[in-house]
Each structure stands twice: as structure tokens, then as C-alpha cells.
């Protein structure tokens, strides 16, 4: 098989050039990823050497500008805020995104489905700073009337939910589009209702696509910066209530990198390395799920 493929390429030089060009693009993409990870490790190494790993979880607060000996480097409040905001957004956006995709593909009339799809694509393309501006001007005052100060973990969860919902909906819709039509015809032949077809035929068939959509939406929520920075309040504290102002890891980097020096700067790169690790784990898990390794 390999020899026949090679002989075929040899007869078409343009295909050979295309194959090597694509290989080069793949190698370049991989090299960029390795360089980014290597850069983060290199910039984080002074903090690991002078501060140590333990202090990022055991120090009393986050005040790194005082230096490695007198500074405080506790990242736990920001890790907790990032995790809670992401988890809350995913718990809300996943059922909404999946439900909207089900409506568009199996219940909406054709014209409405087309308009609905364009609207979801538009939501997915809106810049995050626009979401943040809307949240700051509209959402935060609404929450403040209910429970001051308004800038809070709840605001971050709602903004992230709105931002990742179209991503999940589009990816789930793509999974539905790839579903073989024989599945639906067989379901119709058995006399199954539309709802029973969705729950008993469609969902099991595209299970890996559903998991992948949720995981990639989670990755976007983890890495979101500007919108969360504008509505979360940016107070470094362990969140114990949903109405408390919080600061996420990404917001912390954006706020402090402009003036950070020496150990402070290196500690921020530790935060970036932590985020990179979280995204890599999510991407690996999404790839594992997309290969159909999870079975019901």
C-alpha cells in the first residue's frame, strides 16, 4: 500500500510538493507549540528556583512584588476562581448549547434553522471585549441591584456561559451533520418518535462529538481574559460566595504583567505555565474522546 502510494505521488509532482508543504505546516505548528512551552518553562524557572513550588499553594496571599523572600505567591485563590467560573459556565452552557443544536437540527423549520445557525455563528465571532463591555454596562448593574457590588464570580460565570455557548452549539451541530443518514432512516422505519430518536439514536451515535464540544468550550472558558477581567471584580480572595469579587489567573496576568519585574514577572509566567498545562490536558482528553475511547 505504501509503495503504491509513493509511486502514485511520483507520477504527480504537484501532489508531492503539496504533501511536503502540508508536512512542513504540521512540523511548524508542532515546533511553535514546543517553543511556547519551552519559553514558559524558561521564564518560570527563576520563580521555581528562588520561591519553590510549595509557596505557590502555602503563602498567605498574593503580593509578589516584595521579592522572593518577603513576597507572597499564593496562586490558590486565583486557581479556585478560575476553576469555579469555568465549571459554572460549562454546567450552564453545555445543556443550553446541546439543546440549541438539537432544536436547530431536528425541530426548527428549514428557514428558521438557517437564520438560527447564522445567529449562533455571529455570537461565536463577537470579540470578547465586546462581551465584557456589555457585561460591565448591563449585567453588573443588574446583579448589583440584587446583591452588591455586582462585579463578582456570578458575573464571570454568566459572561463565560454566553461566550462558550455558541462554540458548543456549533461543534455539536457539526457532529449532528456528520451523523449517517441511515441512522435516522432506520429510526423512522422502527416508528420511533422524534424525541426518542434524539435520545436513543442520535446522542449515543455522536457521544464523542458531544464530549469534544464541551471540552473545547471548557478550554475557551479557562483561557478567557478580557471579558472576565471587566466583570469579575479582580479581588484576590478565596471565593466562598457566588457574589464575591474574584480574580482569575488570566486576569491576574493581564493586570500585572505590564509592571512586573524579576521574581514577580517570573511568578506570572508560572501562572501562564499552569494555564498551558490545563489546556494541554483538556486538548489531550478531547482527542482521546474524539477517537471513540469512551463507550456507554
pLDDT in tens, 125-148: 889 999 999 999 999 999 999 988
Would you say residue 1 has pLDDT above 70?
no
Q: Which helix (H) or strand (E) holds 70?
A: none
Give 72's DSSP letter.
E
Whole-number average pLDDT of the chain? 86
What per-residue confidence (pLDDT) applies to 244? 94
What per-residue confidence (pLDDT) applies to 292? 55
Would you say residue 294 has pLDDT above 60?
no
Could you give the CA distance from residue 91 to residue 270 in angstroms, rounded to a whole number? 28
C-alpha distances in angstroms, 276 versus 36, 38, 167, 282?
9, 11, 20, 10
Within 10 Å of residue 194's Cβ, how many Cβ atoms? Answer: 14
Comparing 93 with 71, the larger pLDDT belongs to 93
Q: Give the residue among 215, 275, 290, 269 at the shortest CA–CA distance from 48.
A: 269
Q: How many residues does the chain have?
A: 296
Please give the sequence-ordered ranges of beta strands (E in DSSP) within 193-257, or none if there are none: none
What per-residue confidence (pLDDT) applies to 131? 94
| CA Rg value for the chain | 23
Q: Lowest mean pLDDT: which of 20-29, 60-69, 163-172?
A: 60-69
DSSP alpha helices (H): ranges in 190-234? 194-197, 203-205, 207-223, 226-231
Collect all residues with Cβ–Cβ distance below 8 Å to 250 and sequence separation of at least 6: 82, 222, 223, 224, 225, 228, 229, 275
Q: Which helix (H) or strand (E) holds 186?
A: helix 181-189
- pLDDT bucket at 290, cuts 50 / 70 / 90: low
Collect all residues with Cβ–Cβ distance below 8 Å to 266 and sequence separation of at least 6: 43, 44, 45, 46, 47, 50
What per-residue confidence (pLDDT) applies to 90? 95
In this prediction the pTM is 0.86
Could you give the CA distance from residue 80 to residue 75 in angstroms, rounded to a whole number? 9
Tell me the average pLDDT across 245-269.
Answer: 91
Interhelix angle for 262-290 vs 207-223, to 10°?
A: 170
What per-residue confidence (pLDDT) applies to 14? 65
- pLDDT bucket at 8, cuts 50 / 70 / 90: low
- pLDDT bucket at 289, cuts 50 / 70 / 90: low
Assigned CATH for 72-290: 1.10.3720.10
Give 50-75 pLDDT, tens digit per residue: 888 888 888 888 988 877 777 888 99
What per-residue confidence (pLDDT) applies to 190? 80
Residue listed under C-alpha cell 445567529: 119
Cell matching residue 5: 502510494
Give the residue extent of every domain in the chain.
Answer: 2-50, 72-290
What per-residue confidence (pLDDT) applies to 296? 44
- What percent of the chain stands above pLDDT 90? 40
Amino acid at each position: 500500500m505504501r509503495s503504491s502510494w509513493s509511486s502514485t505521488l511520483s507520477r504527480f509532482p504537484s501532489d508531492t510538493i503539496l504533501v511536503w508543504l502540508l508536512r512542513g505546516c504540521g512540523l511548524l505548528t508542532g515546533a511553535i507549540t514546543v517553543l511556547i512551552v519551552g519559553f514558559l518553562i524558561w521564564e518560570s524557572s527563576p520563580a521555581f528556583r528562588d520561591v519553590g513550588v510549595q509557596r505557590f499553594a502555602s503563602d498567605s496571599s498574593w503580593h509578589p512584588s516584595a521579592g522572593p523572600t518577603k513576597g507572597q505567591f499564593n496562586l490558590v485563590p486565583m486557581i479556585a476562581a478560575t476553576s469555579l467560573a469555568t465549571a459554572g459556565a460549562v454546567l450552564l452552557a453545555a445543556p443550553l448549547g446541546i439543546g440549541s443544536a438539537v432544536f436547530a437540527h431536528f425541530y426548527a423549520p428549514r428557514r428558521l434553522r438557517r437564520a438560527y445557525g447564522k445567529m449562533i455563528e455571529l455570537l461565536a465571532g463577537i470579540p470578547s471585549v465586546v462581551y465584557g463591555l456589555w457585561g460591565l454596562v448591563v449585567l453588573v448593574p443588574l446583579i448589583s441591584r440584587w446583591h452588591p457590588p455586582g462585579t463578582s464570580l456570578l458575573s464571570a460565570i454568566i459572561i463565560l456561559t454566553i461566550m462558550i455557548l455558541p462554540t458548543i452549539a456549533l461543534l455539536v451541530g457539526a457532529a449532528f451533520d456528520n451523523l449517517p443518514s441511515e441512522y435516522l432512516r432506520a429510526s423512522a422505519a422502527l416508528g420511533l418518535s422524534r424525541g426518542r430518536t434524539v435520545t436513543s439514536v442520535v446522542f449515543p451515535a455522536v457521544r464523542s462529538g458531544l464530549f469534544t464540544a464541551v471540552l473545547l468550550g471548557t478550554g475557551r472558558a479557562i483561557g478567557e481574559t478580557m471579558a472576565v477581567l471587566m466583570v469579575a471584580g479582580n479581588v484576590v480572595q478565596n471565593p466562598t460566595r457566588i457574589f464575591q469579587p474574584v480574580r482569575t489567573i488570566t486576569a491576574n496576568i493581564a493586570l500585572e504583567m505590564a509592571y512586573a519585574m524579576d521574581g514577580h514577572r517570573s511568578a506570572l509566567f508560572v501562572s501562564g505555565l499552569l494555564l498551558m498545562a490545563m489546556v494541554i490536558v483538556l486538548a489531550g482528553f478531547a482527542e482521546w474522546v474524539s477517537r471513540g475511547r469512551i463507550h456507554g
